[in-house]
Structure formats: C-alpha cells, structure tokens
Structure 1
Amino acid sequence: MPVFRFLFLVAALSSGALQAADLRVAVVVQDAAQVSLQGDLVPSGTAGADLVAFTDELAREICRRIRSRCAVSYVTFGEILPGVEDGRFDLGFGNFLRAPKREKRVAFSAPIFRSASRLVGSPASARAFAGKLGQAVNLDNLRGARVAAMEGSQQQAFLNVIAAERELTVVATATTAGAFDTLGNGSADFALLPMRTGYALISHDKARRFGFVGPAVADHGLGDTVHIILPKQKEALRRSLNQAIAEIRADGTGHRIMRRHFPVSLD
C-alpha cells in the first residue's frame, strides 16, 4: 500500500495534478479601516471599497489561473514593496507604476492596465487658486499649495521633486483615503492621486464636496502601465503570472472584473 501511494503521488506530480502552491499575497487598502479585514468581505461603507474589491477579485482570479492557494493580506501601500522585497509577500497588488528605483528592488509582471494621475480638490479651492494664478488650476501651474499624496507613491515622489521650486507643502498619508481626508479637514488644498483611486473616493463622498481639478497627467512618472510586483528571484512565478495576465486580457475576464466595480472607463 505505501508503495502504491508513493507511485500515485509521483504520477500525480508528473501529470500536473498537484501543482498548487501556497502564495502570500498583499492587496492594497484605500482606508486604514480595511487593514484588519478578514476573509472575502470588503465593507462597502469604507472609502475606496470598490477599488479594494476590484483589486481583491483580480488577485484571486490570477491565483486561480496559476493554480495557487493564496493567503491574502490587506495592507497599506507603503508596506507592499518592502514586504515583497524581503520575502514576506510573494505577490503585491498595489497598482504599481514602474520606476527605476523600484526595479532595483523587485520584479514586475506584464501590464494589467494603464493609469494616470489627477489633482482632486473642492470647487472653492480650485476657484481660490485660479484667482491667485490668473488661470484655471492644473498640475503644471500649481504653486503655493498644500498637496496630499500617499506615502511611497509616485505622486509623492513627483511632488517632493518640485516642492521647493513651486512652494508646495507635501502632506504624506498612509492611505489614499487619508489623502482624501486632508481635503475635508482643511490640512491640504489638493490631493494628487491615481485617477482610478480618485474616482472611487469622489464617488464614495455622498456630499459631493470634491472633484477632479485639471486634466489627467501621465508624464513625470505619474502614469503608464500598472503592474503586480514580486520578488526578483522568482522567475518561474513571474512567467506563470504573465501567462495568467495574458489569458484574462485575451478572454475578457479582466475587463469584466473592471466593469463590475467601475461603470466608466478610467484608462
């Protein structure tokens, strides 16, 4: 009997029947209240819940495609890249733009979608700064403002570079909802956010206090293709991941997941 069981296991392995692997997956949260999430439920009352639900569903679909058992952790954006780099996470779903500094630390999957960045603010702030500037506010002409951005994001990195020249005060927050909250409590005049994130937070604000200010921006490292990150040494995993991404793009699954959570195109 033991010999039979051994031969069965060998045959199963060679046929690919036991290819499942345990992977630790990080999914980015938009609100600090989502960090302690358990199971599959994303509370709809929390800011950016639809974006978390989209990212979570995409992560689980990719895990299914690569035939892996994935243990999902909901964490802030700033925890994902260091966690992937030091091996605490095998996959990081944080909607990462490629950047040279990041590419030195982790590997990137094939693109999953495209992203751009956009200022968010109240109509009153937009009018006040337009009066000071003598023209409608946009990211290229903004000066003398307090601008919130998520810690570790490309938006924060860009603002840090231009802050002195433009007399900007950069307000760093742990989550995108935190950046959005600075607008409500008056500690920032604008927030610079990924466009999809901005849409999710604006839509969640029932008082409709805020909206997009100026056009979307994709240059200066603020937009391009978005990727999943993984440890640099896991090349076999990267190949499987890229195959899964190609499949969900080809059969329309990725588009359907997107449409379930976002009724408009945000690419």
Structure 2
Amino acid sequence: MNNFELSLRTVNVTRYVTPLREGGSMPAIAEADDGFLYVLKFRGAGQGPRALIAELIGGEIARILGFKVPELVFAHLDEAFGRTEPDEEIQDLLKASVGLNLALHYLSGAITFDPTVTVVASKLASQIVWLDCFLTNMDRTCRNTNMLLWHKELWLIDHGAALYFHHSWQNWKVQAEKPFVLVKDHVLLPWASELELVDREFKAILNTENIRAVVDLIPDVWLEEETNFESKEEHRDAYAYFLETRLAHSDIFLKEAQHAREILI
C-alpha cells in the first residue's frame, strides 16, 4: 500500500492570453478560473500526452528532491473554448486539446537563466545534472537552459523532453539501465563537481513509495493512445519500473556524467 500521496489541483481555462511560439509544442499563457496565469501545455500538440506525462513526472520528482518548480495543475479546456480564435493553427490545437491538459504557474517577471551571467554553486549544479541524468532530460543545454531566475532563485521548468524512451517503448527495460550520454551537452556540467555526494543524498530521498505516488498522478485519459500495454495500470507500472530501476543503477549514469565532465574541463 502506498501511504505517500500527492495531488494536483484542477483548474478550468477561461482565457487564452498569448501563444509562446517556442519549439514544436506551442504552449501558451492562459488564465484560469482561479484568477492566476499559467503556461498551458496542450495534449493536442506534436508529442501528444507523452510530453505532458514527462512534464508531470519530471516536475513532481524535482519537487520531491527540493528543487524550485512552478506549481503544476491539471487544466481543463472546454469544447467551446477555441471557437472564436482567429488563428487557424491555434484553433486546431485547441480543438485537439479539449479535456485535460497540464499547466505550470506563470512566474511573472522571471528572466531566462544565462550561464555567462549567473554563477551556480557546485552543489546545485550537481543536483540539477543528477536529476536530468535520472530523467534522461535532453533539454537543459546552453541553447535552451529551461531554467528561470525569479526572486533571485533558480527555478526549473519544462521537462517535456524527458523520458524520451516512451515515444517508442522499444527495449524500455534495457533503456532504464543505460547511461545518459547527452549529459555532455548539459549547461551546468562544468560546475557539477559534487555528483557522488548528491547521488547519496538523493537516493536517500527518492524511493519506491514516492516514485509510485508521482506515477499515480497520470490521468487515465493521457494513457488511452498507447497500445503496448493491456491496461492503464500496467502502463503506469512501466513508468514506475523504469524510474525505480534507474534509481537502483544510478552509478551507471553517474559515471557517464563524471567522464563527460572530465573531458569537458
């Protein structure tokens, strides 16, 4: 029995404010019925529900480990919402995203992290590198750091490119034990000198119970398109297995990160 419980609020989207034309997912700033602004990630975008699942798992795992992450909420989009949208591309996206989507609390006034301007302490750099190796998050590079500075603190955003194994589910059990070779491009790798310490600390925090609690957050509707599993529960079990196995074999991605850093510096 899992006694570690997590929950996300559900909001209703009331106003489409402006698109954020970054990458292929076309997120948008939107207002919800609680009066707050959110960065809305659409289930009807290019990568479909898988990107939302990666965003959900990545964001909540990061939160458990103590990182600053904007609040994640389930965002319901009504069928009538996009009817008055004049842009045909956006209208198609809204129509394809009716129902449950995912949104991040909008950090008004936040600025994009620039590694040439802001120095990150070695411990924090090591923690972020470890997280991205664990999640196989390829999207934390100099080109696109996916980190924000808000009220003088570093916040992590956009984990939709993580867990890329689930786009095919081929040899996914094998993938769980593989090193993360793309760590060589990680924006914070040069400063990640405390990876072994972080590995011990994070493995004392993450466990089967809280991993399962995160995976249990995945809504049924986001699992309907996958045909590799006989049930939605089996599908969730696969995510849990991947994360638990990767955690148990963290020495594999740890050594890869250390080796990549030695070459880099």
- TM-score scaled by length of structure 2: 0.29
Q: Which structure is higher in RCO with an 8 Å CA cutoff and minimum separation 6?
A: 1
